[in-house]
Structure 1
Amino acid sequence: MTQGEGSNAQVALTAVAAVAAVAGIFGAGVLLGKKSKAISGSGEGPVVLQGGKGVAKAGTFDAAKKPGFIDVFKGLAEELCGDLSEYELTELISKPMQRMLDYNVPGGKLNRGLTVVHAALEIAKFQGKSSTKDEETIRAQSAVLGWCIEWLQASFLVSDDLMDSSITRRGQPCWYKNEDVGFIAVNDALILMTQVDVLLYKMFADEDPDLFLHVHRIMTETTYQTEMGQFLDLSTQPPQGPINLDLYTSERHYKIVKYKTAFYSFYAPIAFGMAVAGVRDKESLDVACDICVKMGVYFQVQDDYLDCYGEPEVIGKIGTDIQDGKCSWLVTQALTRASAEQKEVLKANYAKDDEECIKTVKGIYNELKLADIYHEYEESIYKEICSDIEAKVTTVPKEIFYALLHKIYKRSK
């Protein structure tokens, strides 16, 4: 065995160990009435699948850290590809399915998924002896739910890049830009979204039905809210005909980013962590939602700013909001502050895929000192969110919100 082969084998064994740790806690998964071979250990895989809890206790399954969390992805992806045998499709699409998952799901910072694990563990620690689950179970359940959110994120990004004609994502060509993909990406996005439900049913429906019903409701509502935000975003800048900048208001921008970004990127990870730890009352969830929505709006304002002012090699993509005619924070702020003459310049140049037009719009932004206004906004919203955390959070540790806030505060990518 060569060094490369040994390395690959080690990665594979680590992935198996990770899913085994989850499997040892959840038991046999069920998909459409079929037992999951990998989860139950009844397939042809290594015998280690029978000893999940021992693997977890040995420390090879630390989903609170990024390497351990990624190991769980490898196991879940292998599980989903293995399920294709139930549809007599293994030989036909198993390899391209694995490639699609590897390309789209585990990239990025994984903040959403890791937040679920971190929140669940911190809440359990906060509860002390009153916690109803052992740490091993919490790690396993929260890791799977964390990846469900990352799977959902992947679905949104694949479709979003196609709709926006984006070029790069996470430092590589957008999935649809691969020569052998193109519009196949539409179906891939649907597959990714459906796999979220598959994972939820497989891991929770029988083993923890109360948790399953709770998180499935949140996931369904969150997905729908995100799609409605996307609908509002796309309908603001129709692909045919001239845009109407009268629609580009701060109120409309707030509604777009609240629904398109805040719920699935911030509220769902915290709510899932709370759910695993047994905190499911309406009052606690409402407080979490209010704070997370503010963070989500702040995050998207950052994204809008970085799309224009960030370095492509740092943010991992080429900004296209101006030529795409996006209802971004920058253009709504510009329209609020611009003179009549500057507004006419914006109307003549915004949403034009032309280098001179893009340069002209950025020139207006600079004249209005929008970068300075953004930095003032950032300090103001940061203080407001910190104040809310201190005043409103009582049933869960404040640290889970601060940890999420500090991941995005003054970020550059």
Structure 2
Amino acid sequence: MEALSLQEMELKMFDETYEKLRKELTSFDDDELRDAKLWFDKVLQYNVPHGKKNRGLAVSQMFVLLASKNDLTEENIELSRIVGWCIEFMHANALIIDDIMDQSVTRRSRPCWYRQVNYIFLRFSITVYPKPNVGFMALNDAMLLRSAIYETINKHCSGHPMQHKILDMFLVAYQNSEYGQCLDGLTTQEGSKPDFSLFTASRYAAIVKYKTSLYSFDLPVRLAMYLAEITDEKVHEKVTVILLRIGHLFQVQDDYLDCYGDPEVIGKIGTDIENGKCSWLAVEAFKRLNCEQKKIFTENYGIETEDSVKIIKDIYNQLHLQNIFKEYEAKEFNEICKMIEEFEKTNGKEVNAQVFFKLLDWIYKREK
């Protein structure tokens, strides 16, 4: 048997931490909560451990880069994995709600959780009767995942000098992501055509910042910093500036892949066009549409038909948005690298710049 690489070993240990947390969160001492705990076990197993886990892994991997040698104990590294899984709980919570709001079909190559069904096989018949099993119960399931974060932190971070900072970061991250979700939803309200006056670079940047960047990039790295007891708020502010830029690039990539990615690779069927999302592609298209194209675009964007989706994609191709994206991605990568190098000159002693380069390695030219 081949020896595991360091990355494979870390993933294995990260997954072992998840199993420990899952058993803790679903254990029960009496029958009162038995059914709820057994249900929550299904929620966890279906929604939490099947993604790329980059957000959660970032906490433990960044902690190793940031902590002093004396603090790099197995106990502290394990705590960073536990906090990392709290972000994965948060991410699963966000995906469940997002999929319901967007009426998405698949997530991670499987039906979205709210679309899950059980199948009843009659004893003397091969007939299969679909029975809705989750539906809007998924909203409560998302709240259970949120509660699991605070239960886990209170249990495992109790006594840590940064416990209050860690809790506060999750509270703020949730508030930010909820405001971001609100901005996203207000751009295209259910039953209405998109408000194309909001398809601007500034509105898009605000949605990305609050809905994605803060919890996907700022949260994991700064949690690792607090776990490593790096508490200088000015340094945290400088770190946030770079992380938000990385997060913006990540979301632009996501929007691109929603349209041009292979569903077999990215694990979901893109729905940004049908849902009338204020995506990077749509914003960039609006900058370049002539009068005739704009008329066709506004008539078809946000319409859930194959013909309308094809019309929008044809316009994207006419505008050469694939090439524009590739140029943007390369330019942003270089700009972010310059920001990191400048940061390293003045703050290299407090924060290892490899933290940022590692994140860039994860996302640059990704296909899923």
Indicate conservation of the 8 Å contact 1:168/1:174, yes or no. yes
The alignment status of 1:88 with 2:39, answered yes or no, reads no
1:136 positional shift: 1.1
Candidates 181, 196, 204, aligned match of 2:149: 196
Which residue is 1:112 aligned to? 55
Question: What is the distance in 2 between the residues matched to 1:295 and 1:216?
Answer: 24
1:64 positional shift: 6.8
Which residue is 2:310 aligned to? 359
1:295 positional shift: 0.7
Q: Which is richer in helix? A: 1
The alignment status of 1:146 with 2:84, answered yes or no, reads yes
The alignment status of 1:175 with 2:130, answered yes or no, reads no
**Range 372-381 or range 62-71, more displaced:** 62-71
SS in 2 for 1:348: helix
Indicate conservation of the 8 Å contact 1:258/1:296, yes or no. yes
Amino acid at match of 2:113: W
Tell which has more relative contact order, 1 or 2 (C-alpha 8 A, sep 6+).
2
SS in 2 for 1:69: helix
Aligned length: 344
1:94 positional shift: 2.9
1:123 positional shift: 1.1
Question: What is the distance in 1 between the residues matched to 2:195 and 2:223?
Answer: 39
Question: What is the distance in 1 between the residues matched to 2:309 and 2:315?
Answer: 10
Question: What is the distance in 1 between the residues matched to 2:9 and 2:167?
Answer: 22
TM-score computed with the length of structure 2 as normaliser: 0.91
Indicate conservation of the 8 Å contact 2:303/2:309, yes or no. yes
Which residue is 1:158 aligned to? 96
Candidates 157, 176, 184, aligned match of 2:137: 184
Residues 262, 290 of structure 1: alpha-carbon distance in 2 compared, 3 angstrom cutoff: same
Pairwise mapping of residues 239-254 of structure 1 onto structure 2 (< 5 A)?
A: 239-254=190-205
The alignment status of 1:270 with 2:221, answered yes or no, reads yes
The alignment status of 1:386 with 2:337, answered yes or no, reads yes
1:86 positional shift: 6.7
Indicate conservation of the 8 Å contact 1:64/1:118, yes or no. no
Would you identify which runs of 4 or more consecutive aligned residues in structure 1 move more than 4 Å? none
Amino acid at match of 1:190: M
1:334 positional shift: 0.3
1:243 positional shift: 2.2
SS in 2 for 1:406: helix
Amino acid at match of 1:107: H
Question: What is the distance in 1 between the residues matched to 2:103 and 2:190?
Answer: 11
* Residues 352-385 of structure 1: CA deviation (Å, up to 9, x unaligned): 0010000000001000001111011101110111
Unmatched tracts of structure 1, length 5 or more: 1-61
Unmatched tracts of structure 2, length 5 or more: 1-6, 118-132
* Residues 157-181 of structure 1: CA deviation (Å, up to 9, x unaligned): 0111011000110111100111211
Amino acid at match of 1:400: V
Question: What is the distance in 1 between the residues matched to 2:31 and 2:162?
Answer: 28
* Residues 143-198 of structure 1: CA deviation (Å, up to 9, x unaligned): 11100000000000011101100011011110011121111101101111111111
Pairwise mapping of residues 42-121 of structure 1 onto structure 2 (< 5 A)?
A: 65-82=10-27, 84-85=28-29, 88-90=32-34, 92-121=35-64
Which residue is 2:233 aligned to? 282
SS in 2 for 1:85: coil
TM-score computed with the length of structure 1 as normaliser: 0.81
The alignment status of 1:407 with 2:351, answered yes or no, reads no
Amino acid at match of 2:76: I
Indicate conservation of the 8 Å contact 2:64/2:72, yes or no. no
* Residues 21-75 of structure 1: CA deviation (Å, up to 9, x unaligned): xxxxxxxxxxxxxxxxxxxxxxxxxxxxxxxxxxxxxxxxx99711110110111
CA RMSD of aligned residues (A): 1.6
Residues 64, 251 of structure 1: alpha-carbon distance in 2 compared, 3 angstrom cutoff: farther
Amino acid at match of 1:93: A
Indicate conservation of the 8 Å contact 1:63/1:117, yes or no. no
Which residue is 1:41 aligned to? none
